[in-house]
Structure 1
Amino acid sequence: MVRFLWVCIVVAFCFSKWVDGFVQYSQRGDPKTEIINNTLMVSITLIRGAEAKGAVCLDGTLPAYYFNRGHGSGANSWVVHFQGGGWCSNITECVARTKTQFGSSRYMLPETGFTGILSFKAEENPDFFNWNRVLIPSCDGASYSGDSENKEAQLHFRGQRMWLTFMEELMSLGMRHAKRALISGCSAGGLTSILHCDKFRGLFKKSTKVKCLSDAGFFPDEVDISGEPTFRNFFSGVVSLQGVKKNLPRFCTRHLDPTSCFFPQNLISGIKTPLFILNSAYDIYQFYAILVPASTDPNGLWDNCKLNLTNCSPSQLQIMKGYRNQMLNLLKPISKSKQNGMSVTSCYAHCQAQYQVMWHADNSTLIGTKTISQSVGDWYFDRAEIKVYDEGCHYLVPQ
């Protein structure tokens, strides 16, 4: 009886260890993971030896990523998600970024939570929960497209080299065997997924199902409320400072200037790989940076409107609706293409795929009858053609 009891204890102990290993879906050598407050926390991984290729962050530190291995039916499927973080268009801005996680891996979180499109729970992320899921932070300031340097300021504009190094690293981890792959990104990372969409497709065999998702990465080339091209001037600085031109899609640079080819509206028609645009027509970042930058409102007449859209005056709402209509007009190439997808919300938000409440939750805003997660999943797996936009949203204050 005693021997039987000990056997049961040993079996139970081994089973619990096996379950722990299964729940965290890791293999020997994979980054450490743990579950805190019901969220999967994933440890950072630095790419050793990247400096030999010149593939470094703005301050010269090593590039980094967060990775959780897939399992079961998702073992050979990959989501590679590029985090947002903006850009820098001059030396002062870029030097400032080197003191933050957006310009140096020295300041990146040692571990980060995987939620939304990166969640490991089927009830939170129905189609991608068991895929290999990768989060790549931003540390270059040019959507991983620059290749230059400023020795005097000790700045390394090596986004393109880091992009190549990330892909080499992931291929070595098993992505070369992928049957399905999705590159996605938020904000500046959403622009990354557009700029590198066809390059990502080129990494795989023809039999691999590859698609691209841009979340809050569709930045229109529009003037601000004073009629000035404030955001275009900003992008022009990014492109020229960081040597982006040579890495832009050639189908665009053959007939347009480099700055124009950094704007998605001039790229989406030429991208061959299936592309899904997820964006808010009232994107909070675009409201602040493109439509009403601080320079255009010295007296703060838009301050209350920016804090809550219900505070906007009729004339302000009219300006915003005009901006929305122009965005929808620019997205017509997506709406006319059968292979592409589009989900344009009216939420006052910026980035929706990585945040659980926006991606897939009981109180998520529905686009038509579906959550954003269901829309993206239906498009990726060809279950339905998704080209929808919705005028309503219960997130009217900044999210």
Structure 2
Amino acid sequence: MRMKVFVIAALAFVSLVSVIDGSEHEAQLSEFVNDALFSSVSSKQPSQPQPLMVPITVINGAAAKGAVCLDGTSPAYHFHPGSGSGANSWLIHLEGGGWCNTIRNCVFRKTTRRGSFKFMEKTLPFTGILSNKPEENPDFFNWNRVKIRYCDGASFAGDSQNEANQLQFRGQKIWLAAIEELMSKGMQKANQALLSGCSAGGLASIIHCDEFGSMFPKSTKVKCLSDAGFFLDAVDVSGGHTLRNMFGGVVTLQEVQKNLPKSCLNQLDPTSCFFPQNLIQHVQTPLFLLNAAYDAWQVQESLAPHSADPSGSWNDCKANHARCNSSQIQFFQDFRNQLLNDVKDFSKSSPTGLFINSCFAHCQSERQDTWFADDSPLINDMPVAIAVGDWFFDRKTIKAIDCAYPCDTTCHNLVFK
């Protein structure tokens, strides 16, 4: 198997730099990186089958419940009904897309699809774990599949407002309104359900995992999948804590602590309890962690952001890992070691699942090429889709952890241009 490389062209970045500085620049670059990562070169090849396009649905009566996007518009989701053996099975996928941690960048976010219904795409392709084709999604193709749109900026977990700037931080209410509506559409009769999410949505799937499980009778098989949601409280290249500072702003501004596990808050500060490494021990519902050991978003925005590297000495390396020197690669190896150490106890629990591949990637369940394709990334000859399916249906115990870079030749590594 040859290693595949996907090139992300940062054309939008040029105009971005001229209008945004400081933390707002980083928050919006995060937004750009997150979006760019979802579109691979292979998805544009004409030989690829056309994905299912699913229209948007506004959540009925959400505004009356205070469940609104940052700008006060109604939240939404995309739903494709199940059929046959999957008619009573439900997959709920939480959209990702960074966070906003200051008034300024939350105000900016209101002018994007990450903060307002007005700017959301009205149809979305369902690929990867959301695909309706058995050859692309062998275990979940005929389930009821839902993608809940992300427009609050705090991983569906905030509950506050800022009247002076007309900002509504209502992620928790959006989450509850969406689930309530889906329950009324038949999910309350589900015999099995999977809550998944990617990136900021992957963090949300950890935060809301037990809450999701509690909504079903004990007879329902309920599990959760976090894809690229394991954000580490790691030291950046300057010795600082870029991501901790950003998360601290998100938690304080949006009052996220209201919706974090009390068992964690009894031990740690609210910002620490927003980090998955401190959350996972408090999750009782079976949880699967899918993560690249060298997560491309964290490399760009947490480990070597511009604020930690103003001279740009990491620019070549973080754009293309092939250009990293030995000390830079060692920095990434230390990051991987921290990740493995943080999941060590989690992995000992029999209901949990792991797929940690040694790739420079991000969000591998949403993209068809990384979820299930002829040349998908593998650990022990097993692609992501089979690993997740085997775990969900209890066919196998899945604790798949790759050897360190550069051993994996099946990666679809992301290269920024």
User: TM-score when scaled to structure 2?
Assistant: 0.86
Match of 2:387 among 357, 375, 387: 375
Specify the SS of the correspondent of 1:261: helix
Match of 2:262 among 250, 265, 273: 250
Specify the SS of the correspondent of 2:137: coil
- 1:135-150 → structure 2 map (5 Å cutoff): 135-150=147-162
Match of 1:366 among 366, 372, 378: 378
Counterpart of 2:414 in structure 1: which amino acid?
V
Deviations 1:137-194 (A, max 9, x none): 2100001111000000000001111111011010011000000000000000000000
State the aligned residue count. Answer: 364
Counterpart of 1:123 in structure 2: which amino acid?
E
Match of 1:159 among 149, 166, 171: 171
Specify the SS of the correspondent of 1:205: coil
- 4+ residue segments displaced more than 4 Å: none
* Aligned match of 1:397: 414
**2:107 matched to 1:90?**
no
* Aligned match of 1:341: 353
Deviations 1:377-397 (A, max 9, x none): 000000000001123143233
* Aligned match of 2:332: 320
Consecutive unaligned residues of structure 2, counting only runs of 5 or more, are 1-47
Higher relative contact order (CA 8 A, sep 6+): 2
Counterpart of 1:395 in structure 2: which amino acid?
H
Q: How many Å separate the matches in 2 of 1:140 and 1:265?
A: 23
Match of 1:294 among 301, 306, 311: 306
Kept in 1, the 8 Å contact 2:159–2:169? The answer is yes
Q: How many Å separate the matches in 2 of 1:280 and 1:137?
A: 24
Q: How many Å separate the matches in 1 of 2:383 and 2:346?
A: 20
Kept in 2, the 8 Å contact 1:57–1:140? The answer is yes
- 1:1-399 → structure 2 map (5 Å cutoff): 38-391=50-403, 392=408, 393-398=410-415
Further displaced range: 183-192 or 220-229: 220-229
Aligned-residue offset at 1:37: 5.0
Further displaced range: 164-173 or 220-229: 220-229
Aligned-residue offset at 1:229: 1.3
Deviations 1:231-252 (A, max 9, x none): 1011010001001111111111
Aligned-residue offset at 1:310: 1.0
Aligned-residue offset at 1:105: 0.9
Structure 1 residues 120 and 315: alpha-carbon distance in aligned structure 2, compared to 1, 3 A threshold: same
Q: How many Å separate the matches in 1 of 2:79 and 2:368?
A: 18
Deviations 1:80-138 (A, max 9, x none): 00111111111001001000000001111010100000000000000000000000121
Q: How many Å separate the matches in 1 of 2:315 and 2:158?
A: 35
Kept in 2, the 8 Å contact 1:310–1:396? The answer is no
Deviations 1:15-71 (A, max 9, x none): xxxxxxxxxxxxxxxxxxxxx952100000011321111100000000000000000
Aligned-residue offset at 1:303: 1.3
Q: How many Å separate the matches in 1 of 2:233 and 2:220?
A: 34
Using the aligned pairs only, state the percent identity: 58
Aligned-residue offset at 1:209: 0.2
Consecutive unaligned residues of structure 1, counting only runs of 5 or more, are 1-35
Kept in 2, the 8 Å contact 1:281–1:344? The answer is yes
